[in-house]
Amino acid sequence: MKTENERANPIGVFDSGVGGLTVVREIMRQLPGEKIIYFGDTARVPYGSKSKETITKYSRQIIRFLKTKNVKAIVIACNTASAYALEDIKNEIDIPIMGVIEPGARAAAMTTANKRIGIIGTEATIASGIYSEFIKKILTDAKVAGKACPLFVPLVEEGYTDDPVTTEIASRYLKDLKQENIDTLILGCTHYPLLRKTIADIMGSGVSLVNPAYETATQLREMLMKEGLMAEEKLDEESGKYEIFVSDTTKKFEDFARTILPSDFDSIRKINIEEY
């Protein structure tokens, strides 16, 4: 068991932009006693089309920033950064760190009956093949098929979440996966749960959609318990419990944050991430 001070320290969560707030929302629900420091890399968003080297460099900078805030653990709430950077970084830091891929893979492995699982995500996440790796550690004979859906993020950001154009594009992206006879589909990008209805309609009722955010919060709880790092559950609502930092200030981010988060947070602060 760590000291009370350590246990009272915040959890650091980061993403390339706003999407990771869906994971924060889940952590707020499942771990109401925890303080959270969130960082959204809005000056360099998106990550999904960039290289492993660049994503790893950005992730290291963000972790250095979060550590200046005395975080006791870190959640990479971005599929692309989890896919490309987590493995290297995990060996470099002295506090517990986790991503969204392993929880998503575990949830899918627990959900599937026919062992045929689909994954949709950014180009980088799909190219990494990492969901398949983690799934096969649990279900060695699983058949896994992936498909990159690069237009989903811009469509969500344009507000076309329930729109015939999005349905048409989703139908194209999901066509091959439909033929794979999958019974489980991982929404492998934090923006995609906002397209859940469209995707569910296309895939049909025989396919369960898995959102890694829920399972991530559950595994975070397990990790904190194991490390003796859980905060007191009875922490009162207080100013400063949830802090949000970004690398660029945009109206869109603030609107999205206020829409998605159930609890209030202090004003969003901008920092120069290149300095870290």
150 binds a second copy (CB under 8 A): yes
Q: Which residues are catalytic?
A: 78, 189
Q: What is the DSSP letter of 194?
A: G
80 is annotated as contributing to ligand binding = yes
Per CB under 8 A, the segment of 62-70, 91-99, 109-117, 249-257 that binds a second copy is 249-257
The one among 7, 35, 50, 191 contacting a second copy by CB under 8 A: 50
The span from the CA of 225 to the CA of 204, in Å, is 38
Neighbouring-strand partners of residue 76: 14
Report how far Cα 164 is from the mean position of its chain's Cα atoms. Answer: 27
CA-CA distances (angstroms) from residue 150 to 63, 188, 206?
Answer: 26, 12, 25
91 is annotated as contributing to ligand binding = no
158 binds a second copy (CB under 8 A): yes
Shorter beta-carbon distance to a second copy: residue 162 or 232: 162
190 is annotated as contributing to ligand binding = yes
The one among 88, 129, 162, 165 contacting a second copy by CB under 8 A: 165
16 is annotated as contributing to ligand binding = yes
The span from the CA of 219 to the CA of 93, in Å, is 19
Residue type at 196 in one-letter notation: R
Which residues touch 83 (CB under 8 Å, ≥6 apart)?
99, 101, 121, 124, 125, 128, 130, 131
Q: How far is the CB of 50 from a second copy (least distance, A)?
A: 5
| Binding-site sequence positions for substrate | 15-16, 47-48, 79-80, 190-191
- What residue ranges bind a second copy (CB under 8 A)? 42-44, 49-51, 53-54, 150-151, 154-155, 157-158, 164-165, 168-169, 247-250, 252, 274
